[in-house]
């Protein structure tokens, strides 16, 4: 994924949100009887919804979703981007879903369906709220035995219903996040440098266009580089990079490993990697690599090259955050030179 590809990821999420709103307009939903709508009134005001709260049965917040600057964000994760696919599907299903079959109005049976009040002892399910609107809150319970729909109950009403929607509702704030950070395979990189605080350095350079072959540039005299299957994962450090946690950028410790990934189209990704009591973390800064002739002089009316604009946009998306990554990904991004050499014979 090039810089343009990373930017496209964000654009596509906005398109997904737009599609959700279009799909939810009254003329496009079909024959939804408003009196049996999953959330009465939602489809008429779908474009105005900018807050969704998911509350667990014990009253604890699962996720507080807020639409800010045309993006949905998860407040429990410092306002990081939400998974727009999840938000898209949730809004679509809530706007087009129906309560199709009455089940019980006896509170003693609510617990079995997962639609008891969140204040009730032993309750289960989730409560969906729409703060700032007059929309009713919705208790969302378990799937029915055929797994075609969930049991639901509008807050304040006695009647519980079977709905015609499965409603994918993750029960942790982490699972509401956009997990994909980037996907830049080795084929899009020109070189990789890993530098440890003690000076230990790994320098890799691409030897083929497809990213399959890499050369370890700083092999000590009398030593040989490890096989390609050991070098390639290092070059793929930015490929399929998904977060396992996220937090606002904090101070980076002096002992952090610095990794430089240079793309073929001229982007420099500088990754700072370190461990603490909360896991393995990486922070990114992004800049453009320009020749002197490509930089407009003082007083020139020329616009900055597109790569500079792209780098600025990607940096603005990544640099405010620190991402917790998997142990495997962290290890591949922090290899030492000795690990990439054939062991010396005893």
pLDDT (tens digit per residue) in 236-281: 999 999 999 999 999 999 999 999 999 999 999 999 999 999 999 9
Best CA proximity match to 338, nearest among 234, 212, 220, 179: 220
Q: With respect to residue 346, please indicate whether it lies within any of the assigned structural domains.
A: no
Question: Which two tokens mark 305?
Answer: 């090259």
DSSP string computed for 20-64 = HHHHTSHHHH-S--GGGBSSTTTGGGGGG--EEEEEETTS-EEEE
Q: Which of 176, 199, 234 marks a domain boundary?
A: 176
pLDDT band, residue 211 (cuts 50/70/90): confident
> In this structure, are 135 and 201 located in the same domain?
no
> Are 59 and 118 found together in one domain?
yes
Q: Do both 167 and 187 map to the same domain? A: no
Predicted confidence band at 140 (pLDDT cuts at 50, 70, 90)? very high
What percent of the chain lies above the pLDDT cut of 70? 86
In this prediction the pTM is 0.86
d(CA 308, CA 270): 15
Question: Per-residue pLDDT for 115 more than 80?
Answer: yes
- Could you tell me the pLDDT band of residue 20, with boundaries at 50, 70 and 90? very low
Is there a contact between 154 and 127 (Cβ–Cβ < 8 Å)?
no
> Same structural domain for residues 138 and 189?
no
Among 176, 203, 231, give the residue marking a domain's end.
176
pLDDT of residue 293: 42
27: domain range? 3-176
Same domain, 220 and 243: yes
Q: Do 245 and 151 fall into the same domain?
A: no
pLDDT tens track for 155-185: 999 999 999 999 999 999 999 999 999 999 9
In this structure, are 124 and 217 located in the same domain? no
Q: How crowded is residue 46: how many other Cβ atoms within 10 Å of its Cβ?
A: 21
Using only C-alpha atoms, the chain has a radius of gyration, in whole angstroms, of 25
Say whether both 324 and 230 belong to one domain: yes
Helices 306-318/3-23 angle, 10° precision: 70
**Is residue 120 pLDDT above 60, yes or no?**
yes
Does a structural domain hold residue 288? yes
Tell me, yes or no, whether 345 lies in a domain: no
Q: Determine phi and psi for 61, rounding to 5 degrees.
A: -70, 130
Environment class of 199 (CB within 10 Å of its CB; exposed 0-12, middle 13-18, buried 19+): exposed
Highest mean pLDDT among 207-216, 293-302, 326-335: 326-335
Number of domains comprising the chain: 2
Helices (DSSP H) in 59-141: which residue ranges?
84-96, 107-113
Q: What is the pLDDT of residue 30?
A: 46
In a domain, 29, yes or no: yes
Angle at CA 259, nearest 5°, toward 255 and 263? 165
Do 116 and 198 lie in a common domain?
Answer: no
> What pLDDT sits at residue 123?
77
Say if 11 falls within a structural domain: yes
Q: Indicate the residue among 154, 176, 198 that finishes a domain.
A: 176
In which order are the strands placed within the sheet that holds 71-74? 80-81, 71-74, 61-68, 51-56, 126-129, 138-143, 150-154, 161-163, 99-102
Q: Is residue 232 assigned to a domain?
A: yes
Tokens of 96: 């087009």
Is residue 295 scored above 60 in pLDDT?
no
CA angle centred on 37, ends 21 and 94, rounded to 5°? 40
Query: In the structure, what pLDDT confidence band is assigned to residue 16 with cuts at 50, 70 and 90?
Result: very low
Residue 292 within any structural domain of the chain: yes
If asked whether residues 199 and 325 sit together in one domain, one would say yes
Q: Is there a single domain that holds both residue 196 and residue 168?
A: no
Taking residues 29-49, report their average pLDDT.
Answer: 80
The better pLDDT of the pair 122, 270 is held by 270
What does the pLDDT average to over 296-300?
54
- Give, as one character, the DSSP assignment of residue 176: G
Per the domain annotation, does 207 fall within a domain? yes
Type and span of the H or E element at 189: strand 189-195
Q: Are residues 185 and 168 in the same domain?
A: no
Residues 213, 215, 220: CA angle, nearest 5 degrees: 155
């Amino acid at each position: 994924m090039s810089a343009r590809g990373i930017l496209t990821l964000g654009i596509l999420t906005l398109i997904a949100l737009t599609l959700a709103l279009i799909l939810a307009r009254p003329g496009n939903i079909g024959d939804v009887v408003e009196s049996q709508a999953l959330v009465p009134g939602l489809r008429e005001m779908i474009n105005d919804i900018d807050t969704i709260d998911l509350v667990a049965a014990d009253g604890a917040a699962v996720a507080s979703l807020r639409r800010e600057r045309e993006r949905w964000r998860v407040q429990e994760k410092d306002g990081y981007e939400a998974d727009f696919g999840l938000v898209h599907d949730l809004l679509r299903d809530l706007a087009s879903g129906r309560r199709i079959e009455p089940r019980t109005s006896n509170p003693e049976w609510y617990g079995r369906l997962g639609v008891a009040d969140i204040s009730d002892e032993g309750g289960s399910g989730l409560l969906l709220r729409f703060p700032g609107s007059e929309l009713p809150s919705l208790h969302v319970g378990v799937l029915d035995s055929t797994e075609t729909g969930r049991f639901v109950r509008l807050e304040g009403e006695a009647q519980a219903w079977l709905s015609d929607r499965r409603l994918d509702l993750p029960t942790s704030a982490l699972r509401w996040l956009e997990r994909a950070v980037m996907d830049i395979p080795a084929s899009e990189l020109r070189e990789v440098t890993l530098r440890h605080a003690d000076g230990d350095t790994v320098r890799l350079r691409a030897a083929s266009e497809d990213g399959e072959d890499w050369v370890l540039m700083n092999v000590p005299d009398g030593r040989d580089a490890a096989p390609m299957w050991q070098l390639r994962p290092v070059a793929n450090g930015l490929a399929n990079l998904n977060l396992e946690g996220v937090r606002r950028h904090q101070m980076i410790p002096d002992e952090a490993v610095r990794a430089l990934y240079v793309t073929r189209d001229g982007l420099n990704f500088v990754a700072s990697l370190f461990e603490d009591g909360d896991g393995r973390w990486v922070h990114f800064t992004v800049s453009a690599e320009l020749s002197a002739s490509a930089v407009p002089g003082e007083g020139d009316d020329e616009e900055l090259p597109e790569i500079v604009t792209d780098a600025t946009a990607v940096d603005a998306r990544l640099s405010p955050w620190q991402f917790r990554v998997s142990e495997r990904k962290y290890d591949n991004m922090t290899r030492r030179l000795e690990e990439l050499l054939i062991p010396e014979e005893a």
